[in-house]
Amino acid sequence: MKLLISLVVILKLVATVTSLTIPENGKLWAVLVAGSNYYYNYRHQADVCHAYQILHTHGIPDENIIVMMYDDIANDEENPTPGIIVNHVNGSDVYHGVPKDYVGEQVTSQNFINVITGNKEAVRGIGSEKVLESGPNDHVFINFVDHGAVGILAFPSDELYVKDFIDALNTMHTKQMYNKTVLYVEACESGSMFEGVLPPNINMFATTAASADESSYACYYDDVRQTYLGDVYSVNWMEDSDAENLKSETLETQFEITKNETNTSHVQQYGDMTISKLSVSGFQGEKDTEPKHVPEVPFDAVPSRDVPLHILQKKLHKLNSNSLEARELQKSLFKLNRNREIGRAHV
């Protein structure tokens, strides 16, 4: 089905790829961020690790890729395959080789801002101390994955507000830190980080998992790992990048494919739409690779905010209802539902 949808979209677009996507002497840079922690948020780090593998395989050197993730999932006691993270049911390991630039409590909104604005002094003594050192001939790819709300992207212990985010993007532009920048953002209400606030004239193009007022969706529940392995928007664009020739596919085509295959939320695009005519390889790497295809499995998609609830329900369904573990899970499920009702009452 995915292949059929992809072919239909490509034929419909009849997109012309701009061959020279990176200015002469330009480089590719990337910042990949998983803004959550705890095992039930497994999918966020899995998404970011998968994104790293795509960029690395397509030739972007590690010194130009900056990764921020809590790094508490691979060796969590709940993980039945220690040291391994997958992004698809029965998928291959995506954790190997991933740089550990900023981990644990270093994953903050301020460190993220410092990284993308090239503020080396502000991160001195923190993590790898890597920041974007890109210039006016370079392309930058930013991928953020986590929870969100209207005007907010979440980090493990704080939040990034839309004004601060847009200010940072404007700073990148003012400092001539890129020729063009592309952002892919996976979060609930992620459209609110760009809608009506991303200037159309600063050479940035963004796509988001959801509109400004809806949830994004988790997918690929794994009975072995007892958690969701990915997010619908993220696995759709990444599985497309794995399977396609990135030099002959435009960002517009990847957006349309991802939009069509993400039937759980409304994938959006913002900013300078002329950038969408450029090839995906101009931001995700230009090295030729062998296409990778994964077997189709049901998305089993659920709203991101409901993930803890659905995990508990699935665990409970597999247990003898009279067992001690089942009774403990029933208590946890009751508390979770009660807290959700209290939360709704105060909205």
Strand partners, 159: 154
> What pTM was computed for the model?
0.90
Q: Which of 50, 56, 139, 147 is labelled catalytic?
A: 147
- For position 80, what pLDDT does the model report? 97
Task: Rounding to the nearest 10 degrees, give the CA dihedral for residues 224, 229, 235, 241.
Answer: -70
Say which of 58, 139, 188, 219 is annotated catalytic: 188
Tokens of 293: 């295809």
pLDDT at residue number 9: 47
- Pairing state between β 152-154 and 148-149: antiparallel
Amino acid occupying residue 171 = T
Per-residue b or e along 86-95, where b marks 16 or more CB atoms closer than 10 Å to that residue's CB: bbbbebeebb
Give the three-class secondary structure for 107: coil
Across 175-203, b (16+ Cβ under 10 Å) vs e yields eebbbbbbbbbbbbbbbbbbbeebeeebb
pLDDT at 19 over 90: no
Task: Decide if 188 is catalytic.
Answer: yes
- Token pair of 202, please? 């600063």
Whose tokens are 């067992």? That residue is 323
Does the active-site annotation cover 147? yes
Structure tokens at 7: 């072919």
Mean pLDDT of the chain: 89
**In which residue are the tokens 């503020």 written?**
119
Q: Which residues pair with 32 in a beta bridge?
A: 67, 143
Lowest mean pLDDT among 21-35, 117-131, 161-175, 185-199: 21-35
Please, which pLDDT band fits residue 22 given cuts at 50, 70 and 90? confident
